[in-house]
A = this chain, B = another copy of it.
Amino acid sequence: MAYPQETFRFAHVDATSLLGQRRAAASASMITYQLQILKDTGRYDAFSLKWQPIYDKVPEYWPIADHLFWDSDIGKWIEGACYFLQGESNPNPVVDGAIKELVEMIRRAQQPDGYLNIHYQVVEPGKRFTNLRDMHELYNLGHLIEGALAHNQYYGNDLFLEPMLKYVSLIHRVIGPRDGQLHGYPGHPELEIALMRLHHRTGDEKSFELARYFINERGNPTGVDGREFYTVEAEKRNEALDWQPVWYPAPRSHWYQQAHAPIAKQDTIEGHSVRAMYLLTAVADLVRVNPDSTDLKEAVYKLWNNMVEKRMYMTGGIGSMKQWEGFGPDYFLPQGTDEGGCYAETCAAIGVMMLAQRMLQYDLSNEYGDVMELCLYNAVFTAMSVDCMKFTYVNQLASSEKNPSERFGWFQCACCPPNVLRLLGMIGGYVWNVSESKKSDPTQIDVHLYAPATLNFETSAGQASLKQECDWPRDGSIKFSLIGEKRYVQLKLRIPGWATAWEISPALSHLDITDGYLTIPAEYLALHPDFNLTFDLKPRLIAPHPLTNQQILTVARGPIVYCVEDVDNTWVTDHFRSTHLDPECLTKNAVTEIKTADPSLPDEIYVSITVHKAAYTVDFDRLKIKPSVDKEDLHKTIGAAKVIDELKFVPYYYRANRGGHGMARVGLKQWTW
């Protein structure tokens, strides 16, 4: 089983190309920037268990205290920092010292029986494990465990892992199927992933048992004396029937946390999108270990398909409903928060990547690889500034006056920034994979992402390295070099679904493409250890499903989805709501495609695309809607549109880096009149 958190160590990503540049920027600034914020906000010292004034504050989102996720913020930062330290020749002593101090605080904070939680040790002592549904104790533990695993990997000691195993042992006593135990499961899944990894690393059986129990027990309608756990738990707390957290559309909306039915019986992807992705990632991990659990495996496919086909934005973002930070009904995908809803949380897109990475290991198909890459370069990359010090939580596809296109330094609920940090830290593990199912000769390397990187691996005959040289995705050409042992290596290269023209050189005598992965056999590699794969990255137009009622198009080039911004198109005043795009815009007149950089960001090379006289603005103010309009009047108004001489598109990830008035939009209305 290959976890990117483990395998990234064998892959070195150069500081070039879009991916390499962002990883380098994260290394240079994101780690220390986030550390400073941890210190400034009280998070850093929280495991000292001293009272902080913020604990008295009325929470921004009742009933969740503002500090409730601090444990996880610490865990995720340590995790991310350790990934970056691992590859560095001169580790930053400030970062190293902070990790050591934090671990020391955590060790001291742990109670003798293993319990460890900032909120319940400081603010509400005596109430531990009374609200698994909302209070994130188990979620926090999950992130601490993942931090401890990274710490163990880098430092080679058990200083952080040992208290985690002790805490797991406590949970294993408290929660489980036996009489006297709580028959519960985490309100926010994450611990399940961590436990599977903890078991993978240490062989700890309690971890595996707990993970399996959480997954199988979840949504059991008769788990506690014939009733559902969260309902019984709520009654024990004397929770009034009219009580509801602000993100519940109704009291006891347990679909919010994917607990409305056992996972195998869930037909559509529902509720909070990050929870859904973390849960399914853990389910996929369990399925990989227990390939017999066919009902769970079918559920993963079913929910994935529902998501990708009906509930995902063109950018890879998921979740249109702000209230529950999650999925709306099928095809409900407005582009903006002010147009009916658009959430597309950063962590959720990272979760999609996690799930896709797992699915690729039991089903090597470009369907998963394509979505993984789409999320990375669009829904995730749009969530950080070029300098890696500003972030978004919500990634709408269209701005509005109320919700302009912008980024922020931090968030009260700060799950996203350190999640980006750890993703970039381990990103080498997403690039490729030594295929599990082919442990026998030849060793098979599945290449999911193209990036300037080198992978070191073992073959039956000895060490080998696979090197990619490229400027992906700005440029479509990748040079592969197999170094060292060549006779026992086979490659599977992803041919993205969008790639209509590509070539390999020297040519392959026989093209074997299965589920979008091209086989490069050992015989070819023995003859041609250096070869080139080249994709034609010519711009194309993409659209969402017509049932989304958007009737929009946007430009895409390779894996990159484009948007328009007011900083380039200064005439705009309405966030491009009335801007229409000719479906023939890419063929009709000349299209300008320039590899360029802006003066303010000279190192940030990107490809801009400009369409000429093939976009229009409609003067909607001419329409008198009371409350409808005659078709003739509508067509007349739209027919009187103004031609836009030049409409310039830039990559969606690049938005909000160059000033402007916060106007940006991915999908433009299709001009069909």
The reply to whether A243 and B242 form a contact with Cβ atoms under 8 Å apart is yes
Binds B, one of A505-513, A594-602, A631-639: A631-639
Please give me the residue from chain B that is nearest to A245 by CB atom. B242
Binds B, one of A25-33, A109-117, A406-414, A540-548: A540-548
The reply to whether A627 and B241 form a contact with Cβ atoms under 8 Å apart is no
The reply to whether B541 and A631 form a contact with Cβ atoms under 8 Å apart is yes
Interface status of A55 (Cβ within 8 A of chain B): no
Give Cα A374–Cα B331 distance, bound, in whole angstroms. 30
User: Shortest beta-carbon distance, A513 to chain B, in Å?
Assistant: 17
Interface status of A42 (Cβ within 8 A of chain B): no
The reply to whether B241 and A246 form a contact with Cβ atoms under 8 Å apart is no
Give Cα A414–Cα B61 distance, bound, in whole angstroms. 34
User: Shortest beta-carbon distance, A601 to chain B, in Å?
Assistant: 28
The reply to whether A331 and B323 form a contact with Cβ atoms under 8 Å apart is no
Give Cα A630–Cα B338 distance, bound, in whole angstroms. 27
The reply to whether A370 and B626 form a contact with Cβ atoms under 8 Å apart is yes
Contact with B along A220-252 (1 / 0, CB 8 A): 000000000000000000001111111001110
Q: Determine the chain B residues whose CB is within 8 A of the CB of A243 once the complex forms.
A: 242-243
The answer, among B338, B339, B544, B549, for a CB contact under 8 Å with A628, is B544
The reply to whether B241 and A630 form a contact with Cβ atoms under 8 Å apart is no
Knowing A242-B245, A334-B549 touch, does A627 contact B544 (C-beta < 8 A)?
Answer: yes
Binds B, one of A181-189, A255-263, A308-316: A308-316
Interface status of A625 (Cβ within 8 A of chain B): yes
User: Shortest beta-carbon distance, A247 to chain B, in Å?
Assistant: 10
The reply to whether A498 and B630 form a contact with Cβ atoms under 8 Å apart is yes
The reply to whether A62 and B631 form a contact with Cβ atoms under 8 Å apart is no
Give Cα A370–Cα B626 distance, bound, in whole angstroms. 9
The answer, among B308, B313, B374, B625, for a CB contact under 8 Å with A544, is B625
Q: Determine the chain B residues whose CB is within 8 A of the CB of A331 once the complex forms.
A: 339
The reply to whether B312 and A549 form a contact with Cβ atoms under 8 Å apart is no
User: Shortest beta-carbon distance, A395 to chain B, in Å?
Assistant: 14
Interface status of A91 (Cβ within 8 A of chain B): no
Q: Determine the chain B residues whose CB is within 8 A of the CB of A249 once the complex forms.
A: 246, 323
Interface status of A623 (Cβ within 8 A of chain B): yes
Give Cα A341–Cα B341 distance, bound, in whole angstroms. 12
- Looking at A241, A308, A329, A546, the one whose CB has the most chain B CB atoms below 10 A away is A546
| Residues of chain A in range 515-547 having any CB-CB distance to chain B below 8 Å | 540-547
Q: Determine the chain B residues whose CB is within 8 A of the CB of A542 once the complex forms.
A: 628-631
The reply to whether B553 and A551 form a contact with Cβ atoms under 8 Å apart is no
The reply to whether B58 and A241 form a contact with Cβ atoms under 8 Å apart is yes
The answer, among B246, B341, B556, B620, for a CB contact under 8 Å with A546, is B620
The reply to whether A543 and B626 form a contact with Cβ atoms under 8 Å apart is no
User: Shortest beta-carbon distance, A280 to chain B, in Å?
Assistant: 16
Interface status of A393 (Cβ within 8 A of chain B): no
| Residues of chain A in range 570-626 having any CB-CB distance to chain B below 8 Å | 577-578, 583, 618, 620, 623, 625-626
Q: Determine the chain B residues whose CB is within 8 A of the CB of A626 once the complex forms.
A: 308-309, 367, 370-371, 497
Q: Determine the chain B residues whose CB is within 8 A of the CB of A291 once the complex forms.
A: none
The reply to whether B631 and A540 form a contact with Cβ atoms under 8 Å apart is yes
Interface status of A203 (Cβ within 8 A of chain B): no
Interface status of A340 (Cβ within 8 A of chain B): yes
The reply to whether A543 and B251 form a contact with Cβ atoms under 8 Å apart is no
Q: Determine the chain B residues whose CB is within 8 A of the CB of A310 once the complex forms.
A: 625
Knowing A498-B630, A625-B309 touch, does A635 contact B583 (C-beta < 8 A)?
Answer: yes
Give Cα A627–Cα B332 distance, bound, in whole angstroms. 13
Q: Determine the chain B residues whose CB is within 8 A of the CB of A251 once the complex forms.
A: 62, 246
Count this chain's copies in the assembly.
Answer: 2
Give Cα A380–Cα B328 distance, bound, in whole angstroms. 29
Q: Determine the chain B residues whose CB is within 8 A of the CB of A341 once the complex forms.
A: 340
The reply to whether B314 and A627 form a contact with Cβ atoms under 8 Å apart is yes
The reply to whether A329 and B323 form a contact with Cβ atoms under 8 Å apart is no
User: Shortest beta-carbon distance, A468 to chain B, in Å?
Assistant: 25
The reply to whether A244 and B241 form a contact with Cβ atoms under 8 Å apart is no
Please give me the residue from chain B that is nearest to A556 by CB atom. B628
The reply to whether B323 and A332 form a contact with Cβ atoms under 8 Å apart is no
- Looking at A250, A628, A673, the one whose CB has the most chain B CB atoms below 10 A away is A628
Knowing A323-B249, A331-B339 touch, does A242 contact B628 (C-beta < 8 A)?
Answer: no
Interface status of A672 (Cβ within 8 A of chain B): yes
Please give me the residue from chain B that is nearest to A62 by CB atom. B242
Q: Determine the chain B residues whose CB is within 8 A of the CB of A545 once the complex forms.
A: 620, 623, 625, 629
Q: Determine the chain B residues whose CB is within 8 A of the CB of A672 once the complex forms.
A: 672-673
Interface status of A665 (Cβ within 8 A of chain B): no
Interface status of A484 (Cβ within 8 A of chain B): no
Give Cα A367–Cα B545 distance, bound, in whole angstroms. 37
Knowing A329-B339, A630-B498, A672-B672 touch, does A308 contact B549 (C-beta < 8 A)?
Answer: no
Interface status of A550 (Cβ within 8 A of chain B): yes
| Residues of chain A in range 339-369 having any CB-CB distance to chain B below 8 Å | 339-341, 367
The reply to whether A309 and B627 form a contact with Cβ atoms under 8 Å apart is yes
User: Shortest beta-carbon distance, A443 to chain B, in Å?
Assistant: 30
- Looking at A314, A620, A627, the one whose CB has the most chain B CB atoms below 10 A away is A627
Give Cα A312–Cα B625 distance, bound, in whole angstroms. 9
Q: Determine the chain B residues whose CB is within 8 A of the CB of A553 once the complex forms.
A: 631
User: Shortest beta-carbon distance, A80 to chain B, in Å?
Assistant: 28
The answer, among B242, B314, B340, B371, for a CB contact under 8 Å with A340, is B340
Q: Determine the chain B residues whose CB is within 8 A of the CB of A297 once the complex forms.
A: none
With A541-B631, A544-B629, A549-B551 given, name 20 new contacts (CB 8 A). Answer: A58-B241, A62-B241, A309-B625, A312-B627, A314-B628, A339-B549, A340-B341, A370-B626, A371-B627, A374-B627, A497-B626, A542-B629, A542-B630, A543-B628, A543-B629, A544-B628, A546-B623, A547-B578, A549-B549, A583-B635
Give 24 CB contacts A-B under 8 Å.
A62-B242, A63-B242, A242-B245, A242-B246, A244-B246, A312-B627, A314-B628, A329-B339, A332-B334, A332-B340, A339-B549, A340-B340, A367-B626, A370-B626, A540-B630, A542-B628, A543-B631, A543-B634, A544-B629, A545-B623, A546-B618, A546-B623, A546-B634, A547-B578
Binding site for B on A (CB under 8 A): 58, 62-63, 240-246, 249-251, 308-310, 312-314, 316, 323, 328-329, 331-332, 334, 338-341, 367, 370-371, 374, 497-498, 540-547, 549-551, 553, 556, 577-578, 583, 618, 620, 623, 625-631, 634-635, 638, 669, 672-673
